[in-house]
Amino acid sequence: MNVLIASDSYKDSLSAFEVGEAARKGVLSAWPSAYVENSPMADGGEGTLDALLTCLDGEEKEVRVHDPLMNIVTARYVVLNGDTAFIESARSSGLPLVPFEKRDPMKANTYGLGEQIKDAVQNGYRNIVISLGGSATNDGGVGMLQALGWTFYGEDGVELGVEGNPLLQAASFSDRERLPGLEECSFTIASDVTNPFYGEKGAAHIFGKQKGATSEGILELDAGLVRMASLFKEVYGVDVQKVAGSGAAGGLGGSIVAALGGTLQSGVDTIIELTGLEEKVMKADIVFTGEGSLDQQSLMGKVPVGVARLAKKHGKKVIGIAGRIDTDLAEVNQYLDAVFSIQTECRSLEEALRSEVTSEQIRVTVEQVVRLLKV
């Protein structure tokens, strides 16, 4: 029996690697002679760097950058195959960097992400993969571009500073001082968000509130995105509003496509490709996957469905395990043969999230599933 475990993390509890190790113990408890491979997965968001480093011989780089409120923080990115830099935007521009009471996209920017990219380019890396997810910002990528040499001006023609959210005052820009070497780079955007740049389903209206924006602020942010889309179209000939996913991370998707010539790609598909998961699936007899909550949202480009699609492509059985599951699983079962909750008894959420509890419940659940498979 050849078993592949390709799970996402269980948020606030276990990393993807730790989930896989707990599942490995469950498999071996029921089938000691089985070969079990743990290939941690992610969809481009939190935990992606750790998943990549577990599966690949990557090198971590540290760089001092600004967080969304322009405080200095240390961010990491990973170099793969000697020439590809994988950057998590959340490491410099993510919500976890901002205390809850200070979250306000009217005051936050992506300057730090630009500094991450700048460091990678100046170190000679020309293939740049940027994962977008969990951002605290809604600046249309203006802050990022400022860090890369773009100059933005207000209606009065005065150059804008880098504090706060420059999108709100931006009326024009120049890229004459852009960072040398950018034109030699290829940019891939790893994201599963399909929202447009602006409008009712755009970055501000859909994601602004969860980042701390008021109703009035959302309208102001959206108006700024409309202006920026017009500028991108005028200068670069790219209508970002027609690019699905341009609204990812507060408009970062659109700015990377327009100003840096980036290409949007599914986050989970990007990680599948980078980690060589397809070859591992082809060797497996059964595949286990999962995440903290396996539900309707899992259909929106999450790890379990991405792994399941790949498993089905090669005719493999695929089992999902999760902290919780929906009662209506008809759509989920179109991809996964069966899904199981790991909960073994009634617990408070706080207790259920304890890593040692989650780990043991995964082990027990997977062991019981494998015992059934043996029958």
**How many whole angstroms from its chain centre is CA 125?**
21
d(CA 278, CA 114): 32
Output the DSSP codes for 64-86.
EEE-TTS-EEEEEEEEETTTEEE
Instruction: Take residue 355 and report the two structure tokens written for it.
Output: 């890593």
- Which pLDDT belongs to residue 153? 98
d(CA 308, CA 39): 14
d(CA 166, CA 173): 11
d(CA 294, CA 21): 19
φ/ψ of 174, rounded to 5, equals: -135, 140
8 Å CB contact between 29 and 369: no
- For residues 31-56, one letter each, b for 16 or more C-beta atoms within 10 angstroms of the residue's C-beta and e for the rest, the string is beebebebbbbbbbbbbbbbbbbbbe
d(CA 142, CA 93): 13
Instruction: Take residue 352 and report the two structure tokens written for it.
Output: 């259920």
d(CA 290, CA 15): 12
d(CA 157, CA 107): 21
8 Å CB contact between 212 and 262: no
d(CA 86, CA 89): 10
- Which pLDDT belongs to residue 144? 98
8-state DSSP, 353: T
Residue type, 66: H
- Decide: helix, strand or coil at residue 241: helix
Output the DSSP codes for 147-162.
HTT-EEE-TTSPBP-S
Tell me how far apart the 2 most distant CA atoms of the chain are, in Å. Answer: 76
Task: Walk along the chain (375 residues) and give the pLDDT tens digit of each residue.
Answer: 999 999 999 887 899 999 999 999 999 999 999 999 999 998 877 778 888 888 888 899 999 999 999 999 999 999 998 889 999 999 999 998 999 999 999 999 999 999 999 999 999 999 999 999 889 999 999 999 999 999 999 999 999 999 999 999 999 999 999 999 999 999 999 998 889 999 999 999 999 999 999 999 999 999 999 999 999 999 999 999 999 999 999 999 999 999 999 999 999 999 999 899 999 999 999 999 999 888 777 777 789 999 999 999 999 999 999 998 888 888 899 999 999 999 988 888 888 788 898 999 999 999 999 999 988
- Decide: helix, strand or coil at residue 293: strand
What pTM was estimated for this model as a whole?
0.86
φ/ψ of 39, rounded to 5, equals: -120, 85
- Which pLDDT belongs to residue 170? 98
8 Å CB contact between 302 and 8: yes
- Which pLDDT belongs to residue 327? 83
| Cβ-based neighbour number of residue 222 at 10 Å | 21
d(CA 223, CA 205): 11
- Which pLDDT belongs to residue 141? 98
8 Å CB contact between 190 and 44: yes
- Which pLDDT belongs to residue 134? 84
d(CA 44, CA 46): 7
Cβ-proximal residues to 90 (8 Å cutoff; 6+ apart), any chain = 45, 46, 96, 131, 133, 134, 135
